[in-house]
Amino acid sequence: MSECEHHKGKKRKIFRQVFWCIVVFLFLVLLTILLIWAILRPTKPTFTLQDVTVYAFNATIPNFLTSNFQVTLISRNPNDRIGVYYDRLETFVTYRSQQVTYRTSIPPSYQGHKEEDVWSPFVYGTNVPVAPFNFVGLSQDVTEEQLATLFLNCGQVVDCRVCGDPNSILRFAFIEFTDEEGARAALNLSGTMLGYYPLRVLPSKTAIAPVNPTFLPRSEDEREMCSRTIYCTNIDKKHRVEGKKLVNTKGMLRAASMVSIWLKVGKIEAEKMLIQMVETELEKRKQHGTYKGGFGGQSHFFGYEGRCGLPTNFDSIYCYALGYGAAAFLQSGKTG
């Protein structure tokens, strides 16, 4: 009996030794990991979507999407002492949380300290089923991309800006071409139906990005840009087309057009712009001592967006004439 108790005590002693060895080993492992982390301070790599080129984007009934993109991704390793091995990388496109392209794999690669890698994979999908509520949004939203595509036959489009009041049905846009011939050819598309409303295409009085605060062309470069720019109004927010093919956007368009689809465009109201013009000019004259009075602006709403054509053509023409006349006064040295 005493011999059995002796054996049991010996086993318990061995178990305790094994247990404490395991505890000490785990403690040393955790301590080593903690020291390595404190010394190296590893940080996750960052990914940036640098560019997107759209080659095809076709929505067809019933609820299918065929698309082809080339995306440019940049990966940066911010660590000073740690390299990163990418074992599995996949790219795909989503629309309103739904995947609309196949997954494209990027080959495994190693990224050294502070290195930067660039990938440009093609992402595509052929007749990918899309949820009905997402298909309605894909087929109806009129974007800068679709508007620019409408004028592609007139000439090469270098810039397209769609603006407007989010509470209004219609919007307006400025479209810049590479030459005057393209802008003149685009004037022939005035009256083209886009949605439920015919477009109005006019020669633009201003460039898309004027460099001076008076919004009027003064340099030869600005005048040359104006000659290549058209002004388009009565743009319906929704694109309603009956038929098998609702959207057919092909061609190489810049990533800026794709990005701006998701941005909320701010208001560019003619009345506020006019007041800001006068205030800016009078402030300059105060600094030069040629003006000592005071100025307080108060806007009166005559029509949406000055030249947008809402609610009537008379209102839009009146607002445009008012702004043009005030600018002419400022140009001639009078306050108006």
Tell me the pTM: 0.38
283: three-class secondary structure by DSSP:
helix
Whole-number pLDDT of residue 171: 72
Question: How far is residue 161's CA from residue 265's CA, in Å, rounded to a whole number?
Answer: 9
Residues 6+ apart with CB under 8 A from 20: none
Q: What is the DSSP string of 217-276?
A: --SHHHHHHHHTEEEEEEEESB----SSEEEEEEEEE-HHHHHHTTS-PPP--HHHHHHH
Whole-number pLDDT of residue 303: 39
| pLDDT < 50: residue spans in the chain | 1, 210-217, 239-269, 300-312, 336
Whole-number pLDDT of residue 228: 66
Whole-number pLDDT of residue 312: 47
Whole-number pLDDT of residue 243: 31
288: three-class secondary structure by DSSP:
coil
Q: Where are the domains of the chain?
A: 1-40, 46-138, 142-246, 270-331
Whole-number pLDDT of residue 76: 92
Q: How many CB atoms lie within 10 A of CB 175?
A: 28
Classify burial at 131, counting beta carbons within 10 Å of its beta carbon; exposed 0-12, middle 13-18, buried 19 or more: middle
Question: How far is residue 310's CA from residue 64's CA, in Å, rounded to a whole number?
Answer: 36
Whole-number pLDDT of residue 233: 59
Span 224-256, pLDDT tens digits: 666 667 666 556 555 443 333 333 323 222 222
Whole-number pLDDT of residue 66: 86
Residue 158's nearest CA partner among 137, 191, 180 is 180
Domain 142-246 superfamily per CATH:
RRM (RNA recognition motif) domain (3.30.70.330)
291 contacts 282 by C-beta, under 8 angstroms: yes
**Chain-centre distance for alpha carbon 128:** 24
